[in-house]
Amino acid sequence: MIVLGLTGSIGMGKSTTSAMFRAEGTPVYDADAAVHRLYASEAVGPVGSMFPSVIVDGRVDRARLSEIVLKDAAALRQLESIVHPLVGHDRASFLQHCARSGVAACVLDVPLLFETGGERAVDLVVVVSASGAQQEQRVLERPGMTREKLAAILAKQTPDAQKRRRAHFVIDTGRGVDYARRQVQALLHALGA
């Protein structure tokens, strides 16, 4: 089984590309979705112990948590020390399931793949990319997003140009959805998946 690591900076179209892999029948592990699940289950206790103000109605309030960790590198490291092991266990269960089911390939959709050293745990890295202008336009269309928030997020991410250099494959979403879909299909075909 080939394990693809799918990553890309904010606003590059990674979620859309992830959905394209799913549509082709390739199992996808979505790290963001896993964190959402964990913020309503196993992560509530440990995150609440460290950041009591972020627990609302028995779950982690992501907006409150984001306000804390985007401004405080030490708080972000504390959060990661809780969440990364939980996500790692969840991801291992996904990979075991894929291996048992005999699929040719699966995708680990991990926004911070390079930042967390996750590229060492996959066979091939696929980076989703577009122009900086397209990225900015997409992100600033999101509710509550500002240029300042975007700058803070990008400061914590590996630059797109560096991700592209380190990738085995780049999916260009700047040329439209159909073009990106054809790239995903061609990649899966080349891998025999």
88, 126: one domain: no
Do 94 and 130 have their domain in common?
no
Tell me how many domains the chain contains: 2
> Do residues 89 and 115 both lie within one domain?
no
pTM: 0.85
SS (H, E, C) the chain: CEEEEEECCCCCCHHHHHHHHHHCCCCEEEHHHHHHHHCCCCCHHHHHHHCHHHEECCEECHHHHHHHHCCCHHHHHHHHHHHHHHHHHHHHHHHHHHHHHCCCEEEEECCCCCCCCHHHHCCEEEEEECCHHHHHHHHHCCCCCCHHHHHHHHHCCCCHHHHHHHCCEEEEHHHCHHHHHHHHHHHHHHHCC
- Over the stretch 76-132, which tens digit does the pLDDT of each residue have? 899 989 998 999 899 999 999 999 999 999 999 998 899 888 899 999 999 999 999
Residues 136-191 pLDDT 10s = 999 999 998 999 888 888 888 899 999 999 999 999 999 999 999 999 999 999 99
- Residue-range definition of the domain harbouring residue 158: 1-27+105-193
Q: What is the pLDDT of residues 33-85, one digit of tens each?
A: 999 999 999 999 999 999 999 999 999 999 899 889 888 889 989 998 999 89
Does residue 23 share a domain with residue 116?
A: yes
Which domain CATH number covers 74? 3.40.50.300
Q: Are residues 123 and 173 in the same domain?
A: yes
Whether residue 126 sits in one domain with residue 80: no
